[in-house]
């Protein structure tokens, strides 16, 4: 009866969707449900985000304000900090962070605290879905026991699923609707409920046998990328010593029409998934007496990249008769990837911290990040400076860390004494450009 009623509400668009955590994952998902005609209640502990949403404003640069405004004006989108409103929803989707602790152990505090805020307000007939990237077993070990303690039985009077987020901020080629959605349920009935709610807003639902498979699938996606990026970062260092341009090598290898997928080196890993997810699995694997050497080695290579970049800057400055200490350096781009305003786990944090500690005189420009936000473990107060001919000419070095598309790279090279490029934006050989 509960499943039939839930599916009917979804099919008739009577279902109300609660999205808990209105960040880079939760907000696009909420907007997609609104676009499909569902009323969405957004929950967030940040009152300033709630206030902006309730004025029809976006606080994420790559999510254009008009999309939020349309959803708000239609009456389908509203936001709150009050978890007592959870009973208004039929589906409760958790989109909260899963960072690492001080020793690279999983930090599930956001998941656990959010679950404990939601569970007391659950009612019969609801679906609760976790989308946060995490280790296999989290849904069964953290969500289900709390639901059971509250007096509910998954598959009978409530539905519990795991459906990993696959958001790629700034990617204009894919959006929530067109990215296939993996869903695993605690029971077959839970899976049917998950298929119904997600099938209403995405083009393709990929059903798997249980929540552990869905959790592991997300980790595999990002470990695959981490390991391959680690490989190409290591090859970058080998090629550098051999006097070979790694980007030219990748371009050449990419012409093979089978058996090769290009990955590109950089100053380190950033974002909410690739630098973090592999360590969730390495931590969980130890419970089963398995050492994930391959994954951990890739992690070591990737986390060492900021030091490599700083070493290359020091070498380049030495070649120009300038010491790193006291050198004036402009950093271009501090978001973790181009064309977005997201600084989560950005390698710019580590690179800038190392440069400051070495005595460099830093400034930065990022059209997407006007001021460095308050970040855990990175207490630098600085505002973006304008990229002008005079500013570039005054620098001892210009460091390209994030290659936003709206930079005029020709102009930058023409007015800079030295450019250190970590993203392969400059191809070929140039007298004042060093590739790092």
Contact 91, 18 (CB under 8 A): yes
Q: Is residue 415 part of a domain?
A: yes
Pick the last residue of a domain from 169, 192, 212.
Answer: 212
Place of tokens 């569902």: 38
Clarify whether residues 70 and 201 are in a common domain.
yes
Least confident of 97-101, 156-160, 302-306: 97-101
In this predicted structure, the answer to whether residue 411 has a pLDDT above a threshold of 80 is: yes
**Measured between alpha carbons, how far is 178 from 266 in angstroms, rounded to an integer?**
28
The pLDDT value recorded for residue 66 is: 87
Spell out the alpha helix ranges (H) of 243-346.
246-253, 277-286, 293-303, 305-319
Regarding whether 87 and 21 lie in a shared domain, the answer is yes
200 and 66 share a domain? Answer: yes
Instruction: Write down the number of H helices and E strands in the chain.
Output: 16, 13
Give the whole-angstrom CA distance, residue 15 versus residue 147.
21
Look at residue 100 and tell me if it is in a domain.
yes
Q: Are residues 78 and 139 located together in one domain of the fold?
A: yes
Percent of the chain's residues with pLDDT above 70? 100
String of DSSP letters for 363-415: EEE-TT-SBPPPBTTB----B-----HHHHHT-SEEEESS--TTS-HHHHHHT
Active-site residue, from 34, 95, 273, 363: 273
Share of the chain above pLDDT 90, in %: 84
Residues facing 94 on adjacent strands = 20, 130
Question: How many angstroms separate the CA atoms of 92 and 326, rounded?
Answer: 53
338 lies in some domain:
yes
Angle at the Cα of 135 (from 42 to 108), degrees rounded to 5? 50
**60 near 24, Cβ under 8 Å?**
yes
Last residue of a domain, one of 212, 233, 252: 212
Q: Are residues 208 and 247 in the same domain?
A: no
CB 72 within 8 Å of CB 53: yes
**Are 37 and 109 found together in one domain?**
yes
Please report whether residue 234 resides in a domain: no
The answer to whether residues 173 and 263 belong to one domain is no
In the three-class reduction of DSSP (H, G, I as helix; E, B as strand; rest coil), residue 213 is classed as helix
pTM of the prediction? 0.91
Residue 144 is assigned to a structural domain of this protein: yes
pLDDT digit string, tens, across residues 293-335: 989 999 999 999 999 999 999 999 999 999 999 999 999 999 9
Task: Look at phi and psi of residue 423 and say left if phi exceeds 0, alpha if psi is from -120 to 50, else beta.
Answer: alpha
Asked if residue 236 is part of any domain, the answer here is no
Q: How far apart are CA 161 and CA 186, in angstroms?
A: 6
pLDDT for the residue 133: 94
Residue 377 confidence (pLDDT): 67
pLDDT digits (tens, 9 = 90+) for 215-254: 999 999 999 999 999 999 999 999 999 999 999 999 999 9
Q: Are residues 21 and 80 in the same domain?
A: yes
What confidence tens digit (pLDDT) does each residue in 30-83 have?
A: 999 999 999 999 999 999 999 999 999 998 877 777 889 999 999 999 999 999
CB-side neighbour CA atoms (13 Å) of 328: 8
Residue range 333-355, pLDDT digits in tens: 999 999 999 888 899 999 999 99
Residue-number span of the structural domain to which 66 is assigned: 2-212
Does residue 219 sit within a domain? no
User: Do 183 and 251 lie in a common domain?
Assistant: no
How many C-beta neighbours within 10 Å does residue 85 have? 14
Core vs surface per residue 249-259: b (16+ CB within 10 A) or e: ebeeeeeeeee
Query: What is the overall mean pLDDT for the chain?
Result: 94
* Nearest to 97, CA basis, from 49, 165, 163: 165
Q: Pick the closest to residue 353 from 389, 326, 380, 333 (CA basis).
A: 380
- CATH code, domain carrying 195: 3.40.50.720
Q: Are residues 159 and 265 in the same domain?
A: no
Identify whether 273 is a catalytic site residue.
Answer: yes
With respect to residue 109, please indicate whether it lies within any of the assigned structural domains.
Answer: yes
Domain boundary among 172, 196, 212: 212
Residue with tokens 């959605």: 181
Same domain for 248 and 205: no
Total count of domains within the chain: 2
Q: Are 254 and 198 contained in the same domain?
A: no
């Amino acid at each position: 009866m509960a499943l039939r009623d839930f599916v009917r509400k979804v099919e008739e668009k009577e279902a109300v969707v609660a999205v808990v955590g209105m960040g880079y994952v939760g907000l696009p998902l909420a907007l997609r449900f609104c676009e499909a005609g569902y009323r969405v209640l957004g929950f967030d502990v940040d009152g300033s985000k709630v206030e902006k949403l309730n004025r029809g404003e976006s606080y994420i640069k790559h999510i254009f304000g008009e999309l939020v405004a349309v959803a708000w004006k239609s009456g389908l989108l509203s936001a709150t900090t009050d978890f007592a409103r959870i009973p208004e929803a039929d589906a409760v989707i958790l989109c909260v962070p899963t960072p690492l602790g001080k020793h690279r152990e999983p930090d599930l505090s956001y998941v656990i605290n959010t679950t404990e805020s939601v569970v007391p307000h659950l009612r019969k007939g609801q679906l609760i879905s976790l989308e946060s990237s995490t280790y296999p077993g989290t849904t069964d070990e953290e969500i289900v026991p709390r639901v059971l303690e509250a007096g509910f039985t998954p598959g009978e009077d409530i539905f519990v699923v795991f459906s990993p987020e696959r958001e790629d901020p700034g990617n204009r080629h894919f959006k929530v609707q067109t990215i296939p959605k993996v869903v695993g349920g605690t029971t077959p009935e839970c899976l049917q409920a998950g298929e119904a709610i997600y099938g209403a807003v995405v083009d393709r639902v990929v059903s798997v046998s249980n929540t552990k498979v869905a959790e592991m699938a997300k980790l595999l996606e990002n470990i695959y990328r981490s390991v391959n990026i680690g490989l190409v970062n290591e090859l970058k260092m080998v090629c550098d010593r051999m006097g070979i341009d790694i980007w030219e090598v990748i371009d050449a290898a990419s012409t093979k029409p089978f058996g090769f997928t290009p990955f590109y080196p950089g100053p380190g890993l950033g974002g909410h998934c690739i630098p973090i997810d592999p360590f969730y699995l390495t931590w969980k694997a130890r419970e089963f007496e398995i050492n994930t050497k391959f994954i951990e080695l890739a992690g070591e290579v990737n986390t060492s990249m900021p030091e490599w970049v700083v070493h290359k800057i020091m070498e380049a400055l030495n070649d120009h008769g300038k010491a790193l200490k006291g050198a004036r350096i402009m950093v271009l781009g501090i978001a973790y990837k181009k064309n977005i305003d997201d600084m989560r786990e950005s390698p710019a944090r580590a690179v800038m911290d190392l440069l400051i500690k070495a005595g460099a005189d830093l400034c930065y420009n990022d059209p997407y990040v006007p001021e460095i936000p308050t970040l855990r473990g990175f207490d630098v107060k600085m505002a973006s400076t304008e990229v002008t001919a005079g500013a570039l000419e005054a620098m001892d070095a210009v460091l390209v860390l994030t290659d936003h598309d709206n930079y005029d790279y020709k102009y930058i090279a023409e007015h800079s004494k030295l450019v250190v490029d970590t993203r392969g934006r400059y191809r070929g050989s140039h007298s004042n450009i060093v590739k790092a």
